[in-house]
Structure 1
């Protein structure tokens, strides 16, 4: 189920929240990512700014759905992209940047969840996770049903163990392969498959009234 984006999930930051780079990403829009990463590795700030523009929204949506906290999600994205600039020279392949930032952001989210003393589902705000619905109808009753369905999904997702939640989000919302998810979480693709199966089973049980 895809959703439209709200300001909370759009990944749009104020200038103070973004890594301090000053390139002009628009001039690189015709190049493939491998070339842009290679340029960034050579110290081209405009090339890295293009990567920031490409990934900051995606990473924010992942972090926000993992953490349900805008401030913490913004911190994860800013820390990840700033660290990405420092890590660029050490990447073996120009195409490895996307995997690196997903892996780093996911693990930073898991670190935040480990530090929390309260269960994340106790503070789950379903309106924050799914603030705008992809499909709106002229029927207020139907819109209320859709909103209730998304609230149910939000709470079910929040109740998953963090590792299962990360696998589900990376697979279902970010279209990552089992190998990419495994690399992000430091687990095997077989383990990813198992976690996904358990997550899907639990979510299906929670959503059975909507089937």
Structure 2
């Protein structure tokens, strides 16, 4: 009975904030770090997948990012900066991978996110076509524009966070996002 009460009490414990988990992980608490990985593995993977257009490359980048984060956790000066640091590291690893290879690999349709089921198949087909067009349009952006646009529009990061992630100024980030939006709007005009 005592085990059950402990498990129930643990389940009722509110989830810890990121800064607390980072502090605990820095002190060697592997479960705290596992929780951070669970929270941010999905967003980092989606960012890497959209930047690299390759599920395998995205998995490799994300795995490397989290291994590096674990090793370098003691170097992180502010516990609350962990998420921004993850985005910056993931973005930089993706940009390095893009620069190392040209052209960008094809997206594997079996591994990309697909629209949820729809009662009207023609609507689902239209959405799939729009996503394919957007994926193709993203390829026309420079890697830096793609990174800035994805971090802002898909991941909701602030201009300051993006500037830190791409190691640039907020003015440069705003310019890249504006150019990316204009270019994407032009390419996606038939879908409006």
Quickly name the TM-score band, shorter chain normalised: 0.7 to 0.9
Asked if the contact 1:65/1:129 (under 8 Å) is kept, the reply is no
Q: 1:200 to 1:36 in 2, by over 3 A?
A: same
- Report the Cα distance in structure 2 between the residues aligned to 1:93 and 1:153, rounded to whole angstroms: 37
Aligned to 1:167: 148
- Report the Cα distance in structure 2 between the residues aligned to 1:200 and 1:189, rounded to whole angstroms: 16
Residue 31 of structure 1 deviates from its aligned partner by: 1.4
Superposed CA deviations along residues 69-127 of structure 1, whole A, max 9, x for unmatched, are 111111111111011011111111110111111111110001100010x322xx43373
Asked if the contact 2:62/2:90 (under 8 Å) is kept, the reply is yes
Tell me, which stretches of 5 or more residues in structure 2 are unaligned? 1-10
Is 1:133 the equivalent of 2:115?
yes
- Report the Cα distance in structure 2 between the residues aligned to 1:49 and 1:114, rounded to whole angstroms: 31
SS in 2 for 1:119: coil
Aligned to 1:102: 87
- Report the Cα distance in structure 1 between the residues aligned to 2:187 and 2:56, rounded to whole angstroms: 29
Q: How many correspondences in the alignment?
A: 182
RMSD: 1.9
Q: 1:76 to 1:131 in 2, by over 3 A?
A: same
- Report the Cα distance in structure 2 between the residues aligned to 1:207 and 1:126, rounded to whole angstroms: 21
Is 1:119 the equivalent of 2:103?
yes
Asked if the contact 2:55/2:111 (under 8 Å) is kept, the reply is no
Pick the structure with greater CA Rg: 2
Superposed CA deviations along residues 116-145 of structure 1, whole A, max 9, x for unmatched, are 0x322xx433736754114x5433333322
Residue 57 of structure 1 deviates from its aligned partner by: 1.0
Query: For 1:22-171, what aligned pairs fall within 5 Å after superposition?
Result: 30-116=15-101, 118-120=102-104, 123-125=105-107, 127=109, 131-134=113-116, 136-171=117-152
67-76 or 29-38, which deviates more = 29-38
Tell me, which stretches of 5 or more residues in structure 1 are unaligned? 1-25
